[in-house]
Amino acid sequence: MAMSILKLRNSPALRSVSNSARIGVSSRGFSKLSEGTDITSAATGVSLQKARSWDEGVSSNFSTTPLKDIFKGKKVVIFGLPGAYTGVCSQQHVPSYKSHIDKFKSKGIDSVVCVSVNDPYVINGWAEKIGAKDAIEFYGDFDGKFHKSLGLDKDLSAALLGPRSERWSAYVEDGKVKAVNVEEAPSDFKVSGAEVILGQI
């Protein structure tokens, strides 16, 4: 994605949060996501769509996955990114988690989850293309409700992407957020990578 365009942002400071202060996101003040937040309660009634082919979608009757099925009773590392097939997402963000998957497992992490404001079919094709589907669980947030519920939505119309999300990561135990990191701009890759969250587990 175009670096010069995506650097545009209302908030002046980089926001990395772990074990304490809340996160400021965009000009709307504070994200609902902070240390101690129950992510399933913050996004009540929201489901995600597991990455799959169109035929798999049809055969599953276009089923979705409730957040409790992803987080409850589990230790989960989740990261969100602006979009499949975009530069930083494909070249840095996902590869950082793929290359450290064994370290996450050694720390007792049950699953590493990637979520993006895309439909599950696009996410599936992208995950297969970059060879990460076996290591990471990919989910679509096709209508953006998940990110909007958490205050992590972002308008990237300037880059012809429309409503998308911030670039972020979080460590979640049994649905409760333990650490959160949000980049200053969606084109940045400073605090949301695997190395940072590994140090917060």
Q: What positions carry a catalytic annotation?
A: 89
**Nearest by Cα to 188 from 32, 81, 33, 79:** 81
Rounded Cα gap, residues 49 and 26, in angstroms:
26
Contacts of 189 (CB under 8 A, 6+ apart): 88, 92, 93, 167, 183
**CA dist 145 → 13, 17, 113, 115, 153 (Å):** 25, 23, 17, 12, 9
**DSSP H stretches of helix in the chain:** 3-6, 39-42, 54-59, 67-71, 87-88, 94-99, 101-106, 120-129, 145-149, 194-198
DSSP codes joined into one string, 125-159: HHHHHTT-TTTSEEEE-TTSHHHHHTT-EEE-GGG
Start-to-end C-alpha separation, the chain: 30
